[in-house]
Amino acid sequence: MRQEIISYDMLNKLERFFPRKVTIKHFIPGTQDSYGEKTVGTWVNVTGLIELPCQISPAEGGKQQRTDMTPVIYTHRIVIAGYYPEILETYQAVMDGDVTFEIMKIENDSQQITTPLLVKLLIN
């Protein structure tokens, strides 16, 4: 009988390693009001991506060039317990309900167990 070295149920048993909660939000652009003025858009929660267990750490000053050649500096790395391929780089991550990060890059987890995000802290 073959036994797996890694238990894919392990994240359920490692709650203390993912002590924070993150909610993923996407932007809904504004429309025009009755006077023809453009209204301000809003960030709304993405269904199924609310209060996800995660951990956060400094990103050690990582940097990359985007396809438009804009340099990007990451401030933090968020690792979400669980695999969420539907998260996009145009979304935001809100940690513990009040700290907002711009998602700069989504790293690949070859085992599809976690979702690592490279993010930049947004100052409100």
Average pLDDT over the chain, rounded to whole?
84
Cα distances (Å, whole numbers) of residue 51 to 19, 27, 70: 11, 18, 31
Q: Note the pLDDT tens digit of each residue in 2-40.
A: 555 556 566 566 667 889 999 999 999 887 777 877 778
Cβ-based neighbour number of residue 72 at 10 Å? 14
Give the model's pLDDT for residue 63.
Answer: 60
The rounded percent of the chain whose pLDDT value lies above 70 is 77
SS3 13: helix
Q: Which two tokens stand for residue 24?
A: 């993923």
Classify domain 15-121 by CATH number. 2.40.10
Residue 25 pairs in a beta bridge with 45, 92
Domains of the chain, by residue range, sit at: 15-121
